[in-house]
Amino acid sequence: MNRGWLSILLMFSATAPAFELMGPRWPEAELTFQFDLVNIRGQSRAASGQRWNDAFIEAMMRWNRASAFTFNAATGRGFDPCRRDDINTAGFRRDDCGFGFGRNTLAITSNVFIRNVYQESDIVFNDNEPWDVFDSRLSGEVVDFTRVAAHELGHTLGLDHETRRPALMQPIVSNTTLPLADDLNGVAALYGAAPQPQSDSCQQSIELALNVWQTGRLEAEDCRRFDLDIGQSQDESAVDQYRFTLPTGGRVVIQMQGLALEPLDAFLELRDDARQVLSSDDDSGAGLDAMMVADLAAGDYFLWANTALASLETGEYRVQVAIGGIDQAASVRLLPGNEVQIDSVEFSGQRYSVRLHPFNHPDFPDTLFWTLGEVRGGAPVVPGATVLPESNHIILHPVDVNGQLIDVGLRWSPDANFPELWLWRLNSAEFR
Amino acid sequence: MLRGLLLCFLLLPGLVQATTIRAVDMDQLLKHSQLIFIGQVRGREVLTDPSSERLFTRVHFAVQEVLKGALTTPELTLDFLGGQQGDRVEQVAEMVYPYDQEVGVYFVEAPEQRLVNPFYGWTQGHFVSVQDADGINRIRTATGQWVTGLDFTSTVTASQVSRDIAEGVQVRAIGQSRPAMTLFDFKQAIQEYLEIRP
């Protein structure tokens, strides 16, 4: 360690920050990476279908959005990360320029600097490892390329590992996918203060009409809980903010439903017009869906559509605020012989009256199945059931079983042996 | 027996650590290191790799005792990617180079191969012995935390990535006065485990 490096470390340790710096910095708060990421097998996309280039750019954007530093991407031509050519690049390799990775190395960032000023940065990803691109929690051997790339880019910036506070630069690759406050303080110490992370866009909300399903998508570009709860949260989950007005007081039923086959773990938060939390819910709907019943006065309210996980979870969902709520919802009744009568079910925006017939599946004698029976036009009332558009799963909310209300989820279960039947099996049932 | 499972130690502070490294546990560390030795750094030099023109640091060790594996000479040379030549520094994030005259216990992944970092799991396979005021050699991790014990039953998951210290290496928490493991105890714990699980 040379004296300049040491003096910088001492200078920062005197102010007792948690972040750790490697010493040098770039002369400008802007850097271009030139790359065309293709693995050794010639694949430009991960198993998930996402291009490696796009994933690397997303990793850059995670720093760009939150800090004063700007990474630029120049794609279309790959360069050799082993060459010292003043080109900053990234690539997959089976070794690191003649040096083997060994059993445990996933990726390596090497920076060249002269007198504490960086000249070049190269990132090499170990192509012997199973990479993919995903936002969900880590599990198994496969590693998420984007969050490792974002971590490596932190080293490019001059950040070292942080072990004392939550940070993307923690040495443990975890469910943290974005630069956190400690990381950003480190970048600010090197390159100046960042714009306020809570941008105006995080104050904006979407108007939500009553009794209408609003479809949305939680994604990486959304405001995050740590943007909205500044200083109080390390929660990286995305938030869509809605605003609705109740013309009169009364009972409302608010629902958030994931729409993908692997749905979001939906989380709803109801806030008053000063954005103070009134109520929240995680799993009161069917499966992982959120639902809350509240008696509210007339006025303006905010609704945060969020996920239960503290890490980023993306995906389609829909949300609805229904006035009148369950008292006015069309009924769902379990009839003798296990027939199910749904007076109003919503499917692709239309309302139907549906009868489901029980079905004895020869391969699954212990599982309850239903087939689609009679279908008629339904009344334009708050539906008692919903068919999820992407999965055909049915959510009954709730079904009346001898006077007891049960939230039920039916899983769409097509069977090649019965191609003519629309089949659902019982997936979840919870007493309300 | 308890000593065989739980021991204590020390280490020296290093600079930084390695980029993104999978976590290893003590069992993996002992099983997959082809060579484990106690030695002292006798010299370092920074050279340029002729094919890639990249800098690497060559470290010369005097081997004092081999705990696993075989060596034909009491000297060993290991190369580490990166280094400093004049003003020019090629910095490999998280790399901790053994310092001159350092005494340590080193877990070498494959001495015949040229790896970015030859220590198994980078800093996880790198321990430093430091003499205390009473002249007793105690063990620290490569990142400077005093080692107070070894737990060979701790395991890592496949998705876990290194926190610089191998799983099962117990380090002294802030404010604790528990003494660090001596070099002797550290060595004995490793030898005992290798006898059980060669």
Q: Which of A92-96, A210-214, B156-160 has the highest mean pLDDT?
A: A92-96
By the CB < 8 Å criterion, does B79 face chain A? Answer: yes
Closest CA to A260 of A417, A406, A136: A136
List CB contacts (< 8 A) between A112 and chain B: 88-91
Shortest CB distance from B20 goes to which of A96, A139, A148?
Answer: A148
Q: Is the pLDDT of residue A1 over 60?
A: no
pLDDT in tens, A14-45: 334 456 777 788 999 999 999 999 998 899 99
Q: Taking all residues of chain A, what is their mean pLDDT, rounded to a whole number?
A: 80
Contact B161 A171 (CB under 8 A): yes
Helix (H) or strand (E) holding A214: strand A214-218
Q: How would residue A338 be classed by pLDDT, with cut points 50, 70 and 90?
A: confident
Q: How would residue B2 be classed by pLDDT, with cut points 50, 70 and 90?
A: very low
pTM: 0.59
Q: How far is A101 from chain B (nearest CA, A)?
A: 6
User: Packing angle between helix A52-66 and helix A145-157, nearest 10 degrees?
Assistant: 50
Instruction: Decide which of A96 and A34 is more confident.
Output: A34
By the CB < 8 Å criterion, does A364 face chain B? Answer: no
Q: How would residue A305 be classed by pLDDT, with cut points 50, 70 and 90?
A: very high
Neighbours of B34 (CB within 10 A): 15
Classify residue A2 by its DSSP letter: -
What average pLDDT score do residues A100-124 get? 89
- CB-based contacts of A307, cutoff 8 Å, min separation 6: A218, A237, A238, A264, A265, A266, A267, A313
By the CB < 8 Å criterion, does A170 face chain B? Answer: yes
Q: Is the pLDDT of residue A253 over 70?
A: yes
* Per-residue pLDDT, A12: 30
Percent of chain A with pLDDT over 90: 21
Instruction: Decide which of A330 and B77 is more confident.
Output: B77
What average pLDDT score do residues A196-208 get? 68
* Per-residue pLDDT, B170: 87
Exposed, middle or buried by CB within 10 Å (0-12, 13-18, 19+), for A25?
Answer: buried
* Per-residue pLDDT, B190: 95
pLDDT in tens, B67-77: 999 998 999 99
Percent of chain A with pLDDT over 70: 84
* Per-residue pLDDT, B174: 56
pLDDT in tens, B97-135: 999 999 999 999 999 999 999 999 999 999 999 998 889
Query: Which tokens go with A395?
Result: 């959510």
Neighbours of A403 (CB within 10 A): 5
Shortest CB distance from A108 goes to which of B19, B79, B121?
Answer: B19
By the CB < 8 Å criterion, does A264 face chain B? Answer: no
Neighbours of B108 (CB within 10 A): 23
Contact of A341 with A332, CB cutoff 8 Å = yes
* Per-residue pLDDT, B103: 97
| Strand ranges for A96-186 from DSSP E | 105-114, 117-126, 131-132, 143-144
Contact of A114 with B88, CB cutoff 8 Å = yes
Q: Is the pLDDT of residue A327 over 90?
A: no
Instruction: Decide which of A177 and A107 is more confident.
Output: A107
- Least confident piece of the model among A46-55, A203-212, B65-74: A203-212
Query: Where would I find the H helices in A208-271?
Result: 225-228
Contact of A154 with A31, CB cutoff 8 Å = no
Mutation for A interface: B53, B91, B96, most A CBs within 10 A: B91
What average pLDDT score do residues B137-148 get? 91
Of all residues in chain A, the one with the smallest CA distance to B161 is: A172
* Per-residue pLDDT, A390: 54
By the CB < 8 Å criterion, does B87 face chain A? Answer: yes
pLDDT in tens, B37-59: 999 999 999 999 888 888 999 99
- Least confident piece of the model among A143-147, B119-123, B179-183, B189-193: A143-147
Q: Is the pLDDT of residue A168 over 50?
A: yes
List CB contacts (< 8 A) between A104 and chain B: 21-24, 120-122, 124, 162
